Amino acid sequence: MPKAPLTILLAAPRGFCAGVDRAIQIVETALARFGAPVYVRHEIVHNRFVVESLEAKGAVFVDELDQVPDGVPVVFSAHGVPKAVPAEAERRGLFYLDATCPLVSKVHREAERHHLDGRRVVLIGHAGHPEVIGTMGQLPDGAVLLVETVDDVARLEVADPDNLAYATQTTLSVEETAGILAALQARFPAIAGPRKEDICYATTNRQQAVKAIAPQVDALLVLGAPNSSNSKRLVEVARGAGCARARLVQRAGEIDWDSLADVRRLGITAGASAPEVLVEEVIAAAGEHFTVTVEQVRTAHEDIVFKLPPALAGTAAAGGS
């Protein structure tokens, strides 16, 4: 039986963003500079393939600093950490490298600025996500109010509605955030915002690319981890843009190709923490079931690169970075 034809529309941009690329480079460079083991607090990025690849090179992933022995380097994940974490590392005299994405660090600094100016900060984000925990942990307990939905905005209780500011998790859906932000601004007209949009360029670009291909395909696969906020948002964006059969998969081995037997046009993208090798793996697997033609649909070009910490550039001595 001849294989049925399948046109794959590849969304671009997709996959690694500059912050993820930098975080992985920090771990790899630390391993090359200091040797194994290099400890990493939490998953460096939300992708098991990446984590397991780094483990094979000598990285050791732990949940908290009390699992890190003295005398070894430790890296903080790209999602950012509460201030208490580097403070504890310094108390113990640990050499640490902070792989927090610079765009997340920007949100941290803005929250601090608003707090110093006497404003209470409202953070739009998902409870329990490491980035949200890190951002809320920049300020004293109670200084940040978390909202996840428009209904949360209606329930907010604030003592001084004229002294509020908002910030957002960097990996949210643009549309979802817009609705919450509109509710905040309607209820608190004086609320202050960031000098520049908090949702990062990579999140926005990947969502726009998915919007471009979703109406043109019968099904769409997002390569990413189930705990990856930006990857889950891509599934939601695809469905909202017209592709009801959008789903999240981690590897090609998870795909039920029989359920896609009727598909003639398949969209593929990858979350910001998913490497391109996983996309290539899916395309190769598709070729076992279909006669595949691949077309790339590009909606933006990315050339942003974030520098490594000075300690890895040879310009800093011991201590933190």
The CATH number of residue 258's host domain is 3.40.1010.20
How many CB atoms neighbour CB 66 within 10 A? 8
Q: Is the pLDDT of residue 298 over 70?
A: yes
Q: What percent of the chain has pLDDT over 90?
A: 93
Q: Does one domain contain both 206 and 156?
A: no
Cis amide bond preceding 13, omega within 30: yes
Per-residue pLDDT averaged across 249-278, rounded? 97
Q: Is the pLDDT of residue 262 over 80?
A: yes
- Model confidence at 199, in pLDDT bands (50, 70, 90)? confident
Cis amide bond preceding 37, omega within 30: yes
Q: Is 131 among the catalytic positions?
A: yes
pTM, to two decimals: 0.93
Number of domains forming the structure of the chain:
3
Per-residue pLDDT averaged across 293-320, rounded? 82
The pLDDT, as a whole number, for residue 318 is 36
The pLDDT, as a whole number, for residue 316 is 37
Quote the tokens at residue 184: 């905040």
Question: Would you say 295 and 247 are in contact if contact means Cβ atoms under 8 Å apart?
Answer: no
Q: Which amino acid is at 21?
A: D
- Model confidence at 314, in pLDDT bands (50, 70, 90)? low
Q: Does one domain contain both 9 and 48?
A: no
Q: Is the pLDDT of residue 315 over 60?
A: no
Tell me whether residue 318 is in a domain. no
Catalytic residue among 88, 131, 280, 302: 131
The pLDDT, as a whole number, for residue 27 is 98
- State which residues form the domain around 135: 110-187
pLDDT tens for 115-146 read 999 999 999 999 999 999 999 999 999 999 99
Domain end (from 69, 101, 133):
101
Instruction: Sort residue 166 into left (φ over 0), alpha (ψ -120 to 50) or beta.
Output: beta
d(CA 107, CA 109): 5
